[in-house]
Structure 1
Amino acid sequence: MLDTKNPYSVFLGMSFIVVLLLSFYTAYFWVTNTHTISEVKAQREHWKATQPASFSYRIESGCMEVNETIVVVESGKETYYAKNNKPETIGSLFELAERAVLTADTLHIRYDKTHGFPTMIQIDWSRAVYDDECVFEVKDFKTIPR
């Protein structure tokens, strides 16, 4: 029984409750963020092994503001056109996914079945913060014939 007149007893009781709540939060975090660094790295290796020499795609991103980047890769040389000064590329999406695996509260990633690049990344960096969600989508991926 908790002796509410003894400050040490109250402190220990409150500490127990805090530890219990943190353990539930941690368990919930691992359930909602099921992606792993090894999964992202494996998909990146798949992308490196299967990416064509020349291709194009478009990335639409929304993270407090909407951005669109058009990327054209010809014989390994990358050119991009972005509406603002923060262009996104498939490479930057892999880096973002690795960071999100470690720090985001909620993360959902879909990958291209043929080439392995992320086709969609949805991130909620913190459930406690309103309006910090981000979405990145790769669209119109096309191989450019030589």
Structure 2
Amino acid sequence: MFLKPSHHSLKYGVKGLTLLIFSVLFMTACQSNPSTPTTDTTNSKGDDKTTIDPAYKDIHQAWQSAKQKWQKTNASHYIYTLQRSCFCPPEFRKPMRIRVNNNDIKLVLLVPENTEKPKNFAGAKTVDGLFTLIEQAMQRKAASIEVSYDARFGYPTSIAIDYDKRMADEEVYYKASGMRLLPKK
């Protein structure tokens, strides 16, 4: 005599199996490859050690050059527009007008409706935060990193990061524009 499984046992069994498969895939994807050589570099101040895979040499050089250009502006007060594109709710993909004072986000407004959001609103970043995002992508050995920088100030104007070509919907994109440096108070 065979027992017929109930609808609930099949439902939870399939969910459990799906969770197990995704967990194994995630753990496998997160493992680093110990045979990949890395390069230790220092930032423009000479005090920050960053381990970068040689495969990112060109990206890292452009990143360093742009970051130095941005640091030379000595900008700690500015306003700019940042738009994030991701597999996330529509509110998180709207352009944000971000006001930064003393290198801290002081105001985030969703454009065009000028709805104020909390300073820690998802995706809102300072320019230094954008540079950190790019650096972390190199450290995590993202499958693809494409960045464009502003010729005048050096801040990232376009960032496209795909952490894993085998996974869908984990890519992140940022567009920055309308930079206006403000006088120091």
Q: TM-score, normalised by structure 1?
A: 0.65
Count, aligned residues: 118
Relative distance call for 1:64 and 1:35 in structure 2 (3 A) is: farther
For 1:83-94, what aligned pairs fall within 5 Å after superposition? 83=117, 85-86=121-122, 87-94=124-131
2:135 aligns with 98
2:153 aligns with 115
How far residue 34 of structure 1 moved from its aligned partner, in angstroms, is: 6.2
How far residue 76 of structure 1 moved from its aligned partner, in angstroms, is: 5.9
Of 133-142 and 49-58, more deviation after overlay is shown by: 49-58
Structure 1, unaligned stretches of length 5 or more?
1-29
Relative distance call for 1:34 and 1:124 in structure 2 (3 A) is: farther
Corresponding letter in the other structure for 1:126: D
Instruction: Check whether the contact 1:55–1:142 (CA below 8 A) recurs between aligned residues.
Output: yes
Corresponding letter in the other structure for 1:42: S
Separation in structure 1 between the aligned mates of residue 170 and residue 69 of structure 2, nearest angstrom? 30
Flag the structure with more relative contact order, 1 or 2, with Cα contacts below 8 A and sequence separation at least 6. 1
2:163 aligns with 125
For 1:19-98, what aligned pairs fall within 5 Å after superposition? 30=55, 35-52=58-75, 54-65=77-88, 66-74=93-101, 78-81=105-108, 83=117, 85-86=121-122, 87-98=124-135
Relative distance call for 1:34 and 1:120 in structure 2 (3 A) is: farther
Is the partner of 2:145 in helix, strand or coil? strand
Corresponding letter in the other structure for 1:115: F
How far residue 97 of structure 1 moved from its aligned partner, in angstroms, is: 0.4
Separation in structure 2 between the aligned mates of residue 95 and residue 76 of structure 1, nearest angstrom? 13
Identity %: 21
CA RMSD of aligned residues (A): 3.1
Separation in structure 2 between the aligned mates of residue 35 and residue 116 of structure 1, nearest angstrom? 16
Of 115-124 and 79-88, more deviation after overlay is shown by: 79-88
- The ranges of structure 1 where at least 4 consecutive aligned residues each deviate by more than 4 angstroms after the TM superposition are 74-78
Q: TM-score, normalised by structure 2?
A: 0.53
Instruction: Check whether the contact 1:109–1:118 (CA below 8 A) recurs between aligned residues.
Output: yes
